[in-house]
Amino acid sequence: MGQAKLKLASDIVRIDAIVAGGDGLARGTDGRVVLIPRTAPGERVEVEYTEEHRQWARGRLLRIVEASPGRRTPSCPFYDRCGGCQLQHLEYETQLDAKALIVADSLRRLGGIEIELPEVVPSAREFEYRNRVTFILRRSGDHVRAGLHAAHKTGDIVDVDHCPLGEPPINRVWAGLRDVWGSGAERLPAGPELRLTLRGTSKGEVGLAVEGAQDYGEPETLLSKVGGLETIWSLDRLGAIEWYSGEPALAERWGPHELELAGDAFVQVNRDVAAKLETYVQERCGEVVRRRLIDAYCGFGLRALELAWKGARVVGIDANRHAIAVAQSAAAESGAAARFIAQRVERALARELPADLVLLNPPRRGVAGEVIEALKTRPPAQIVYVSCDPATLARDLKALGSLFKVAACRSFDMFPQTAHVETVVTLIR
């Protein structure tokens, strides 16, 4: 349905809930659903309509008529303009309650699955928890804007010199880069737009991965002048990693595991919540001795290795060749009964089935149709699905619903101040 002609200039509405994406949901005086960013459950607000459709509308907050007890003053000076956070104006307990509703509503509305409100396990830190932050740098002649996408115009970039969600070493390196990259960011690689991902280790070392580069820039100068920056990589459009300068990889300790981080190889952004989630996933796997397990989207294979150490026979699958190489090396050194495959899950899963248990931990877009078909053709007894998007989780569970039912659901606040939430669902035949 196309956008209708704006009929109402403004309205006063009550916010019923926070929905996926972080907007407040209300009913206008004409009965339509209205989505309004930066609002809180229970409050009455005056809204200016910015987009109208037959069944729904979008609005901009003009003023708060009656404030919610769940509202607070955001601490970040960029919050009104920056799209990096959506919920910083809510008290933390209110954020957790909102995320439980988002998960339950998504499963019901998109998946046809009725569940009780899931527990949302909180983060130990509301701020300074991200070990990986991606900034966008855009050039126009000698003019540079470097920061995060704008909240209300996603094509725009808000110039940000400090992100309160990033771990302190990441923000120190970001400030250092901005100080020394020169006019037009000439010491960085050339290119009209660069994606600059800073990833930090538990020891405070930071690496920089650059996407969109057209040359090498001056990596040695940056490394010598920016304290804490240890290495620079380049990523091409296919995700291949090229080492520029510094250490080829960063040594990291993740629980009992020693890792070598490089480029965009995946680990969770929140160390505290990742540990809590992993403990829960291991519990949901139950007794694994002599069971055949497949860990799909396994990354560095940490979960697969731990399950193998407990007596399972495990196959790990992931498309990231660097991560799989690290996993293969760790398996060889420890003698674990784990085999790792560097390939896309949708290409490899069917030939590795059947299995007693399949672990799924896909990116935000969820699993491909080929994965669903493979699981339905040769179904395991149990699936443990780790999701970072309730909508794609609901879609995938609906597709599997003829063969599996939900046995347990718990969410984890991996991303405080944002509308994102991590959810673990256990499916059984």
Provide the residue ranges of all domains of the chain, joining segments of one domain with +: 10-66, 107-122+269-428, 132-261
Please determine, for residue 5, whether its predicted confidence score (pLDDT) is greater than 60: no
Q: What per-residue confidence (pLDDT) applies to 8?
A: 60
Helix (H) or strand (E) holding 278: helix 271-285
d(CA 95, CA 86): 10
Summary count for the chain: helices (H), strands (E): 9, 22
Is residue 257 within 8 Å of 215, Cβ to Cβ?
A: no
The domain covering 10-66 belongs, at the CATH homologous superfamily level, to Nucleic acid-binding proteins (2.40.50.140)
- The whole-chain average pLDDT of the chain stands at 93
Please give the model's pTM, rounded to 2 decimal places: 0.93
Q: Is the pLDDT of residue 263 over 80?
A: no
CA atoms within 13 A on the CB side of 72: 13
Which position has the token pair 């303009």?
81
Highest mean pLDDT out of 214-223, 260-269, 351-360: 351-360
**pLDDT grade for 265, boundaries at 50, 70 and 90:** confident
CA distance 272 to 258: 17
d(CA 42, CA 66): 9
Q: What is the pLDDT of residue 213?
A: 87
Q: Which amino acid is at 188?
A: L
Q: Which fold has domain 107-122+269-428?
A: Rossmann fold (3.40.50)
Q: How far apart are CA 107 and CA 397, in angstroms?
A: 8
The reply to whether domains 10-66 and 107-122+269-428 share a CATH topology is no
Q: What band does 307 get if pLDDT is binned at 50, 70 and 90?
A: very high
Residue 136's SS3 state is: strand
pLDDT interval class at 317 (50, 70, 90): very high
Bond prior to 354 in cis (omega within 30° of 0): yes
Taking domain 132-261, whether its CATH number is 1.20.810.10 is answered by no
**Assigned token pair, 333:** 């050194």
Q: Diameter of the chain by CA atoms?
A: 69
Question: What is the predicted pLDDT for the residue at 255?
Answer: 83
Q: Tens digits of per-residue pLDDT, 368-427? A: 999 999 999 999 999 999 999 999 999 999 999 889 999 999 999 999 999 999 999 999
241 has a pLDDT exceeding 80: no
Q: Provide the token pair at 293.
A: 């397990």
